Amino acid sequence: MVALLISVIVSAAAVIACIVYHIGLGGEIFWGLAGFLLPQFLIGFIVRKKITAVQNELQEMLTNGQKQMTRKIQMFQTKPGGNIKQIQRQLESDQKAVVTQALAFTKRFEPFKKWTLMMGRQIATMRLQFHYQLQDFAAADKLLATAGLFTGPMMMEPMVIAMKIARQYKNGDVAGAEKTFKRRVKWFRGNRGTLLYGLMSWIYMQQGESEKARMLLVKAKDITSDETLAANWELLANNKDKQFSNAGLGEEWYGLYLEAPPLPKQQRMHGNAHGGRRF
């Protein structure tokens, strides 16, 4: 790491200068520490500023892409006679184009790896999410297996952990999914753990273990205060297993690609389509 090397060199130079000019032990300690910490602070400030600028550019790219897709959905909803499957294919194509562009954009973060200790893991985490969104699960699984990717609170965003659990489930490792859930969910307070509770309860339901799902939701509904989790708990408590649904969790849930989202609906046109009067 370049920043650390520079700090060590500056600190050593400061100590040597103190020895040459007979500053004394106290001065050597003070200037040695100052020579180490000051470059760290200055370099960290400059690098963080540059990283933030690149992150904002990436976020703007993603936001603009989402806005364009939202406009298409709105146009479709207000235009009668549209082909639902056609607009769905168009939206999927648009999303793939935006995410592919974002994945390529992550190369812009590579130069910061030599300046920031955690940048390598942050880049891997971003690429994991983009590969997952592209449904390139082979690449996502490879990144999920990367040693150290999930070490430390910085790397533990709920969606990233949910992706790992979902892939373990899809790869037939239900025990591993349950282990990951139990180990990671405790890091997320309040409603930050909503997606993880919803996902694990859904996995239990797929395994025919509705009682496990119900017991988990007893805890989850109080911790998260989420309406969807509370509704699912009530359904299971009343033996209405078939009505269990995570649809209320919205885009985050469907972003795991375990269930297909509902197709956009068109607004119904009332009266004569040409605006004429009926006689």
Q: What is the dihedral of CA 232, 238, 239, 243, to 10 degrees?
A: -40
pLDDT(29) > 60: yes
pLDDT of residue 151: 58
Q: Are 62 and 102 in contact (CB under 8 A)?
A: yes
* Residue 102: both structure tokens together: 């974002």
Predicted confidence band of residue 275 (pLDDT cuts 50, 70, 90): very low
pLDDT of residue 62: 94
DSSP-derived 3-state class of residue 270: coil
Say which range, 9-23, 72-86, 164-178, has the weakest mean pLDDT.
Answer: 72-86
Predicted confidence band of residue 277 (pLDDT cuts 50, 70, 90): very low
pLDDT(2) > 70: yes
Inter-residue long-range contacts of 168-171, CB under 8 Å, 24+ positions, other chains counted = 169/203, 169/206, 169/258, 170/137, 170/258, 171/141
pLDDT mean across residues, the chain: 87
Nearest Cα residue to 201 out of 160, 159, 230, 171? 230
Predicted confidence band of residue 15 (pLDDT cuts 50, 70, 90): confident
Rounded Cα–Cα distance for residues 257 and 265 (Å): 20
Q: Looking at per-residue confidence, does 267 or 168 come out higher?
A: 168
pLDDT(262) > 90: no
* Residue 5: both structure tokens together: 């090397």
Tell me the range of 27-36, 66-75, 225-234, 268-277 where mean pLDDT is highest.
225-234
* Residue 100: both structure tokens together: 């592919």
Does the pTM surpass 0.85? The reply is no
Stretch 135-159: mean pLDDT, rounded?
Answer: 78
Q: Looking at per-residue confidence, does 269 or 93 come out higher?
A: 93
Stretch 179-199: mean pLDDT, rounded?
Answer: 94
pLDDT(164) > 70: yes
List pLDDT tens digits, range 33-47. Answer: 988 888 888 888 999
Rounded Cα–Cα distance for residues 15 and 110 (Å): 34
